[in-house]
């Protein structure tokens, strides 16, 4: 019996640094699936042609990363509920009627929360940032029934708009950094890209409860400044590597029908 083979890729700009090829090859080795996974550089304007060339070359599934998640939505014949909510796709699967789009980011975060023993139910959640990554996680997060979610962002209007979009799912508000978010929070999610520039968003310790879990959607070098801030303030802190692997596992299941185990892959990535 021949080994199943899947031709997959991640599209983005930049994309050479992506861990996706390694993650999916590890999933393939784990499950006995032959995975041909490449990284393809593409900007928003180049995506339609490069995705079509990938399809005609036998491509069966793809991930989209920055800055392509919203642009990819327009290239799909069907999208799942998570993608509609976030107005972004990060996973494409080739079907007979074209590309079907999915957003596995939020479910990947919840999968990592479950792995770490973090339950958002009944929690007061402060999310720093209001970009596309937050749009992707809010639906699954609010479905876990936190007491309240507060978005705080450099541009208050963007936080207001995003909070309004998800208000039907639970108690959620948005403000700018100059505002006082009110009661102390016991779950902090850092979503901004400030760490890529060696910077920190303007988080205040007095916004947070004494017993707080902190989670950064970033990992690697981009996580280090936030991790240092958490250590200085004696906060339990986790990076986003587990979320990256969790959302990748969900994409792998969409493409292949098989569910990989994630813990061993996270450990392999941490060990280099």
Question: Do 218 and 256 sit in the same domain of this protein?
Answer: no
Same-domain pairing of 87 and 126: no
Whether residue 111 sits in one domain with residue 96: no
- Identify whether residues 120 and 216 lie together within a single domain: yes
CATH number at residue 124: 3.40.50.720
Q: Mean pLDDT of successive 10-residue segments in the chain (272 residues)?
A: 78 92 96 95 96 96 93 96 93 97 96 96 96 92 97 95 96 92 91 86 91 94 95 94 97 96 94 82
The CATH number linked to 35 is 3.40.50.10860
- In this structure, the answer to whether residues 133 and 214 fall within a common structural domain is yes
**Pick from 175, 102, 112, 163: nearest CA to 138:** 163
- Verify that 82 and 142 share a domain, yes or no: no
Strand residue runs (E) in 80-204: 91-95, 98-102, 124-128, 148-153, 172-176, 185-190
Residues 157 and 97 occupy one common structural domain: no
Look at residue 149 and give its three-state secondary structure. strand
| Residues in Cβ contact with 16 at an 8 Å cutoff, skipping those fewer than 6 apart | 39, 41
The neighbour count for residue 172, using CB atoms within 10 Å, is 23
Name residues whose C-beta falls within 8 Å of residue 254's C-beta, 6 or more positions apart in sequence: 61, 91, 93, 102, 104
The reply to whether 127 and 49 lie within a common domain is no
User: What is residue 264's predicted lDDT score, i.e. its pLDDT?
Assistant: 93
Active-site positions read 69
Contact 146, 166 (CB under 8 A): no
Q: Do residues 92 and 201 share a domain?
A: no
**Do 87 and 113 belong to one domain?**
no
Contacts of residue 6, defined as CB under 8 A and 6 or more positions apart, other chains included, come to 28, 33, 34, 35, 36, 60, 61, 255, 256
**118 and 53, same structural domain?**
no
In whole angstroms, give the CA distance from residue 183 to residue 66: 34
Provide the token pair at 160: 């207001």
Total number of domains constituting the chain: 2
Q: pTM to 2 decimals? A: 0.93
10 plus 46 within the same structural domain = yes
Residue 38: per-residue pLDDT: 96
Q: Domain containing 253: what range?
A: 5-103+247-270
User: In angstroms, rounded to a whole number, what is the distance separating the alpha carbons of residues 186 and 152?
Assistant: 15
Report the pLDDT value the prediction gives residue 4, as an integer from 0 to 100. Answer: 61
């Amino acid at each position: 019996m021949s080994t199943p083979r899947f031709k997959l890729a991640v599209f983005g700009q930049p994309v050479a640094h992506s861990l996706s090829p390694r993650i999916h090859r590890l999933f393939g080795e784990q499950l006995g699936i032959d995975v041909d996974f490449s990284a393809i550089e593409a900007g928003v304007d180049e995506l339609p042609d490069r995705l079509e060339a990938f399809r005609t070359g036998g491509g069966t599934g793809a991930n989209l990363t920055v800055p392509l998640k919203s642009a990819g939505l327009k290239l799909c014949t069907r999208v799942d509920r998570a993608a509609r909510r976030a107005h972004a796709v990060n996973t494409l699967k080739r079907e007979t009627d074209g590309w079907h789009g999915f957003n596995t980011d939020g479910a990947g975060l919840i999968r990592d929360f479950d792995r770490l023993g973090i339950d958002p139910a009944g929690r007061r959640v402060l999310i720093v940032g209001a970009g596309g990554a937050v749009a992707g996680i809010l639906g699954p997060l609010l479905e876990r029934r936190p007491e309240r979610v507060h978005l705080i962002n450099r541009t208050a209007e963007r936080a207001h708009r995003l909070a309004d979009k998800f208000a039907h799912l639970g108690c959620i508000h948005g403000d700018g950094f100059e505002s006082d978010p009110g009661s102390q929070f016991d779950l902090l999610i850092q979503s901004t890209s400030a760490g890529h520039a060696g910077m920190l968003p303007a988080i205040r310790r007095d916004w947070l409860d004494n017993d707080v879990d902190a989670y950064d959607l970033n990992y690697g070098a981009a996580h280090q400044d936030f991790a240092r801030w958490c250590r200085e303030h004696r906060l339990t802190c986790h990076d986003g590597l587990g979320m990256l692997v969790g959302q990748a596992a969900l994409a792998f299941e969409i493409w292949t029908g098989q569910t990989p185990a994630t813990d061993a892959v996270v450990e392999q990535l941490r060990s280099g």
